[in-house]
């Protein structure tokens, strides 16, 4: 007999206080359960309306089970299952943009949180500023119902202003440096294109706390769904998988101080999130992306497989110790060497099947803050960065689209086509020069400094292969 489907059991429901744009696996495994804990500890009407900006897949899977789902903690010593019930409803933005705007303008909603990924901000990744030529931004200036996340935020804030309602707090939970400032910048810039008075109001009244979020959440695979069903005895069409570790650091800047009682459940509320963001983006995500490109080229499927390879483990330890940590100012009381040790343990967790291909996605949006900012600081301070250079070179090899055995790589990136054309049309040994012209990734002065350093590294990578190149630096 097939197992019965998971259903929502929670009778005591709070009103919807949060609209979350981009309800994917990460927020379902991180923010939603943590907010549920905060509400259990401190009360308040903070149930969540989840929004998909594109695909209906998550909504379609969750709707028949009342939006309840199972979060599965994957520890090396075994699994734990937690049913999450505070996502009350879901909307798919392109199906009903009017309903979404109405929901965001509702007086009960005091926070709009975001995990829309780097490309959702419609900004230039190298400068952090709104790209006014982005097709969705051009569209969102026409007065039609919006398409982009900044478009929905601006139009919803416009409705609130018109009826004299305070703005909601915009809480970015994406892996961007100063994610609150980036969100604030794109929202105010777009508002200014639409209505300068609205932009002034948002500037004065709006709040955009920056946050640092951290939990490794590999994509759920079909075999995970079957395994969960066997373990818990019910069918869940969309469980999420996560590691035990989690860290959330939030700037305590909310409109009217209205927020769940985060501090009661271990969320760090701080004045300035910058040192935490730098540490996490450059150490965790920087190493993740480096291992993803190099590991993929070396034939490793997951980060756990990659770091189980001694050459890669030695490489990443030196990457942290010799190239990334020297460019960081640690948050107060944090020992960065100990943090690196913890990261390696997390990466090695054999229960987490986090694919190198998954992390390799959207590299053009990730490289600047994860790798190039450290590289730039090392250049400015006359420190060498052989491993960071190798990581950039591996990205270049990866986006050229052919692996070391000559097979095609499925490159997922908003710039994929352009990157492919640039490398296809480059003369022999010309990929480095061609890719360094992509200004969204490499500002001109950085490109100029990088070219002579990258050329020999790239030639060696192509000649020797990724594993041997890593081994030589491990
Ligand atoms: C990863 C992140 O996919 C990626 O690019 O580096 O999703 C990473 O797992 C999280 O930021 C960990 O907090």
d(CA 69, CA 29): 10
DSSP secondary structure letters along 303-367: HHHHHHSHHHHHHHHHIIIIIIGGG-PPPTT--HHHHHHHHHHHHH-TT---BHHHHHTTHHHHH
Per-residue buried b or exposed e for 382-394, using 16+ beta carbons within 10 Å of the residue's own CB: eeebbbbbbbbbb
CA of 77 to the centre of ligand 1 (A): 22
Instruction: Pick from 24, 26, 339 the residue to mutate for probing ligand 1's pocket: most ligand atoms within 8 Å of its CB.
Output: 26
Measured from the Cα of 362, ligand 1's closest atom is 5
Residue 451 pLDDT level (bands cut at 50, 70, 90): very high
Measured from the Cα of 288, ligand 1's closest atom is 6
CB 52 within 8 A of CB 92: yes
Q: What is the pLDDT of residue 125?
A: 83
Helix (H) / strand (E) element for 57: namely helix 57-62
* DSSP letter (8 states) at residue 453: H
Helix (H) / strand (E) element for 83: namely strand 78-84
CA of 308 to the centre of ligand 1 (A): 19
CB 297 within 8 A of CB 395: no
> CA-CA distances (angstroms) from residue 217 to 73, 106, 324?
10, 31, 24
Domain boundaries in the chain?
16-270, 274-473
d(CA 262, CA 360): 32
Q: Residue 269 forms beta bridges with which residues?
A: 250
Ligand 1 environment, Cβ below 6 A = 175, 214-216, 284-285, 288, 358-359
CA of 174 to the centre of ligand 1 (A): 10
* DSSP letter (8 states) at residue 130: B
Tens digits of per-residue pLDDT, 146-159? 999 999 999 999 99
Residue 378 pLDDT level (bands cut at 50, 70, 90): very high
Measured from the Cα of 213, ligand 1's closest atom is 13
* Edge-to-edge strand list for the sheet holding 78-84: 78-84, 69-75, 240-242
Measured from the Cα of 366, ligand 1's closest atom is 5
What is the average pLDDT value for the chain, to the nearest integer? 97
260 vs 3: which has the higher pLDDT:
260
Tens digits of per-residue pLDDT, 11-42? 667 899 999 999 999 999 999 999 999 999 99
CB 91 within 8 A of CB 142: no
CA of 285 to the centre of ligand 1 (A): 6
d(CA 27, CA 7): 20
| Protein residue with least CA distance to atom 3, ligand 1 | 359
Instruction: Pick from 179, 241, 288, 355 the residue to mutate for probing ligand 1's pocket: most ligand atoms within 8 Å of its CB.
Output: 288
Does 471 have pLDDT greater than 90?
yes
Tens digits of per-residue pLDDT, 225-275? 999 999 999 999 999 999 999 999 999 999 999 999 999 999 999 999 999
d(CA 320, CA 385): 11
354-358: average pLDDT: 98
d(CA 470, CA 254): 45
CB 392 within 8 A of CB 384: no
Q: Do the domains 16-270 and 274-473 sit in the same CATH topology, yes or no?
A: no
- C-alpha closest to that of 441 among 418, 410, 457: 418
Q: What is the pLDDT of residue 77?
A: 87
CA of 216 to the centre of ligand 1 (A): 6
d(CA 404, CA 240): 33
Residue 126 pLDDT level (bands cut at 50, 70, 90): confident
DSSP secondary structure letters along 389-410: HHHHHHHHHHHTTB-TTSPBP-
Q: What is the pLDDT of residue 127?
A: 86
Does 48 have pLDDT greater than 80?
yes
Does 341 have pLDDT greater than 80?
yes
Q: What is the pLDDT of residue 12?
A: 67
CA of 94 to the centre of ligand 1 (A): 27
d(CA 430, CA 434): 6
d(CA 110, CA 149): 17
Residue 324: φ, ψ to 5°: -95, -50
Instruction: Pick from 216, 277, 291 the residue to mutate for probing ligand 1's pocket: most ligand atoms within 8 Å of its CB.
Output: 216
- C-alpha closest to that of 302 among 340, 350, 345: 350
293-298: average pLDDT: 98
| Protein residue with least CA distance to atom 1, ligand 1 | 359
CA of 280 to the centre of ligand 1 (A): 10
- Alpha-carbon torsion angle 227, 228, 229, 233, nearest 10: 120
Helices 373-380, 444-464: inter-axial angle, 10-degree rounding: 100
Sign of CA dihedral 375, 280, 342, 381: positive
What is the gyration radius of the CA atoms in the chain, in angstroms?
22
d(CA 99, CA 102): 5
CA of 284 to the centre of ligand 1 (A): 8
157-178: average pLDDT: 97
Under CATH, which architecture does the 274-473 domain have? Answer: Orthogonal Bundle (1.10)
d(CA 56, CA 94): 9
Measured from the Cα of 370, ligand 1's closest atom is 6
CA of 348 to the centre of ligand 1 (A): 15
CA of 5 to the centre of ligand 1 (A): 30
Q: What is the pLDDT of residue 10?
A: 66
Residue 50: φ, ψ to 5°: -90, 145
Instruction: Pick from 356, 359, 370 the residue to mutate for probing ligand 1's pocket: most ligand atoms within 8 Å of its CB.
Output: 359
CA of 359 to the centre of ligand 1 (A): 7
d(CA 200, CA 183): 16
Residue with tokens 């041997």: 468
Does 1 have pLDDT greater than 80?
no
Q: Which CATH number fits domain 16-270: 3.40.50.720, 3.10.20.30, 1.10.510.10, 3.30.310.50?
A: 3.40.50.720
The encoded tokens of residue 67 equal: 């939006």
List the end-to-end C-alpha distance of the chain, in Å, as a whole number: 53
Q: What is the pLDDT of residue 14?
A: 85
């Amino acid at each position: 007999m097939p197992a019965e489907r998971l259903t929502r059991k929670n009778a005591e429901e709070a009103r919807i206080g949060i609209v979350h744009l981009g309800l994917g696996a990460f927020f379902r495994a991180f923010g939603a359960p943590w907010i549920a804990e905060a509400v259990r500890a401190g009360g308040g009407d903070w149930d969540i309306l989840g929004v998909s900006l594109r695909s209906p897949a998550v909504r379609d899977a969750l709707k028949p089970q009342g939006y309840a789902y199972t979060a599965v903690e994957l520890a090396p010593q075994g699994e734990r299952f937690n049913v999450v019930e505070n996502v009350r409803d879901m909307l798919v933005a392109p199906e009903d943009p009017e309903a979404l705007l109405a929901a965001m303008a509702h007086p009960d909603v005091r926070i709009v949180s975001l995990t829309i990924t780097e490309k959702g901000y419609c900004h230039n990744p190298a400068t952090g500023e709104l790209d006014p030529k982005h097709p969705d931004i051009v569209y969102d200036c026409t007065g039609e119902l919006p398409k982009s996340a900044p478009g929905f935020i601006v139009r919803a804030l416009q409705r609130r202003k018109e009826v004299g309602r305070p703005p909601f707090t915009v809480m970015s939970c994406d892996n961007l440096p100063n994610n609150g400032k980036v969100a604030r910048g794109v929202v105010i810039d777009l508002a200014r294109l639409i209505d300068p008075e609205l932009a002034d109001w948002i500037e004065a009244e709006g709040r955009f706390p920056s946050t640092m979020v951290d939990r490794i959440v590999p994509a759920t695979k079909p075999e995970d769904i079957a395994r969960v069903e066997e373990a818990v005895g019910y069918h869940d069409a969309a469980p999420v998988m996560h590691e035990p570790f989690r860290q959330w650091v939030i700037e305590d800047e909310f409109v009217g101080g209205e927020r769940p009682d985060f501090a009661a459940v271990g969320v760090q509320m701080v004045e300035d999130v910058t040192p935490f963001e730098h540490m996490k983006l450059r150490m965790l995500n920087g190493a993740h992306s480096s291992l993803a490109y190099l590991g993929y080229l070396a034939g490793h499927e997951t980060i756990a497989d990659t770091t189980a390879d001694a050459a890669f483990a030695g490489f990443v330890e030196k990457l942290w110790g010799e190239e990334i940590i020297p460019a960081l100012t640690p948050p107060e009381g944090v020992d960065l060497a100990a943090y690196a040790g913890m990261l390696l343990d997390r990466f090695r967790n054999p229960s987490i099947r986090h694919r190198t291909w998954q992390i390799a996605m959207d590299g053009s949006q990730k490289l600047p803050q994860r790798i190039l900012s450290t590289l730039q600081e090392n250049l400015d301070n006359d420190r060498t960065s052989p491993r960071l250079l190798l990581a950039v070179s591996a990205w270049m090899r990866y986006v050229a689209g052919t692996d070391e055995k000559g097979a095609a790589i499925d490159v997922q990136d908003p710039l994929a086509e352009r990157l492919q054309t640039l490398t296809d049309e480059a003369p022999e040994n010309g990929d480095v020069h061609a890719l360094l012209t992509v200004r969204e990734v490499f500002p001109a002065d950085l490109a100029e400094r990088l070219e002579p350093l990258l050329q020999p590294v790239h030639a060696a990578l192509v000649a020797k292969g990724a594993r041997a190149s890593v081994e030589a630096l491990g």
